[in-house]
Chains A and B, each alone.
Chain A
Amino acid sequence: MALIGGMPQHAGDAERQERRDGELSPDLIRISGVTKIYSGVVANDNIRLGVAPGEVVGLLGENGAGKSTLIAILSGLTAPSRGLIEVGGRSFSPNSPADALREGIATAYQHGALVPTLSVDEQLHLANVEDDDTIRTLLREMDRSRTVRELSVGERQLLEIARAVGRTPRVLLLDEPTSTLEASQVEMLFDVIRQRRSAGRATVFVTHKLGEALAICDRIVVMRRGAVVDELRPTAGNWPAGTEDRLLGAMFGADPGAMTGNAAVTKRRPGAPAGNGSVVLSVGRVVDTGPAARHRPVGVSLTVRAGEIVAIAGIQGQGQRELGKVLAGYRPCRGAVSVNGTALSGKGAREFAGAGVGYLTGDRRGEGIVARMSITANLLLKRQREEGAQRFGILRARAIREAARREIAAWGIRPPDPGRPAGTLSGGNMQKVLLARELVREPVLLVADNPTHGLDVRSQVRVAEALRSVANRGGAVILLTADLDEALRLSDRVAVMNAGRLSPLGPTAAADRAELSRWMAVGW
């Protein structure tokens, strides 16, 4: 893959060279020792970063690396726990985005707040934006009399960007600006960034797309787990050879062995079916037909056997969540899906569950736990219509209470108080509740969507054990995860999802970590 060689040589090279020569210009923004802690979690760890006039800084990193937190701090949405920010040499501690705007820092958010009933022109007028060259460049293909409601997702994103750009800020912060843009729209955005560069105005460009960062940025800063881990500049207008590998290594972590300390508990039991068992899940050319999604799964084919864990790794929003819902019957699809030989195409979640499919949601609080109901009730859900739980439609209170007490003890749910509202539990204990409720049904196939996301290490190990126990019992597991290391650590076979397509599936033991991380970022 010759990504670097194929990079468009952009028009800014000459300017970039010029700026490089005038290195003396002082930084517009200087961040020193900025740390942000959200209820015990370090989101930004001692960040040190400067942005010079006219510079285009790319902020690269996977989801949860801390990019958005840093943007939130700079744009005045949240205050750092520690550290100093200077703008134009003066200390800067904004209380609101309006404060930041007065200092010449404007932000285009990933999910902007536009007024659906206003036209494009009205929206710009409302934001006090002058109709200048940059705006005309950005909106050149847009009918500006249309209302926001009538715009496509990409056009809305462009308008959100225009609203920020139009204030001609000294520093423009763009948070994942291209996630919903088409290629031609990305070009318009890049034209505007180049105009800003010529005018000596700085741009901070947050992305997890390598190619775009390399195409437009004068400097790329890589964040990982809240810290700045690498920083690269092109030499004489070109990125040095091996830049791409170096960035990937920095983004996803260079050492896949770093987290294997708990590997022993998650390995296959000797003598277990080992993936040579019967076919549990068979998926043929499935196309997701559910409600709109950023990337919907397209043309997915897959076979999963009893006793194995198949991991599907991918950056958030590439269609894994939708695939998980398709495979559990919660989203409709075209194509063939069968479980243990039962054809389930066109069937709903109830039929899938009846065929033995379990589903562990990736949105624990949103669609897993019922926060105001007790742990007991949450443990019961999905089984409330089964024999043991009811008779003639009346709940068997004692049996339900006893089952809850057993599960709480078996899973070590803390605090062990069956009547406590489940919404007060920690993330790890919520996940235990949801896992308990799936595993007690002894699924032949368990679809687990980012099951360890946001959990502490102990809970992560507990979840990993649970997944392996399903496989060891002769079931199959599909593990959808944004964490490549986790995919490699826990699975027997692994594939990558990018833009709704599923990569070839291969044995984890033979997987090339570097190649998979490249697939995650740019496809294959």
Chain B
Amino acid sequence: MKNDIPKVLKIAEVRDENPTVKTYVFRSYDLGAKPGQFVNLWMPRVDEKPFSVSYCDKDEFWLTIAAVGDFTRKLRDEFSVGDKLGVRGPYGKGYTIPEGKKIALLAGGYGAAPLYFVAQEAVKKGCTVEFIVGARNKDLLLYLDRIDQAEGMNLYIATDDGSSGEQGYNTQILERLIGDVDIVMTCGPEIMMRAAMDICDKAGKPIEVSIERYMKCGSGVCGNCCVDGLGVPVCTKGPVMLGSEARKIKGLAEFHRDNVGFKVVW
């Protein structure tokens, strides 16, 4: 039975992650999301926006959200425990988590949140996880303690300014580790993901990437998130796809499209 109407839930808990990012916890609702999937979050009279899921089990799920636009700043400033928001989804294809493999996760900035969900499921399936995070500076990193304290996950950090971990891009760490891993999963800026695809291609390792586009319906209907080259909506045929598939997107890491389909340079 097809039902795609927002379900209103109360915020059960709000956690500060870093100066701009908070995690919103919703409880007593079985969202049934897999790592890499996303939901649409409805704020009545304001807007509805897509957010990836950073944790989900039978009783609760988390959305980790940076206050960077009108919607997310309003969420940060005006919403707290007990307030109501509408949720629908989960939407899209998630990451394919294998059993007993060596996985490298490459997170750029906020990408650490959805990849933390991947890491948890991967460890449950007997995988070892090399968790590589990167950001412009230490204030933009998140989930470090959770990753560091988890069994089966090794944390690596790179920042552009060297304020945490090694100075430079996180992809240079991936380059060092690639020989020892079976598969790479990445989430972050498209230019970083493309660099990771190049590293994986060279090493002959598979990679899954998460393609972000302006989304409206989440159901593959409106066409706003269709990518050039492939011609498919990434809300249903992605957001997670194999690197070999993402290669067919024309303008990958070069442009995306706005709410009316206009090209915008990344």
A in complex with B:
no
Q: Which residues of B contact A (CB under 8 A)?
A: none
Where the two chains meet, the residues of A that have a C-beta atom closer than 8 Å to any C-beta of B are none
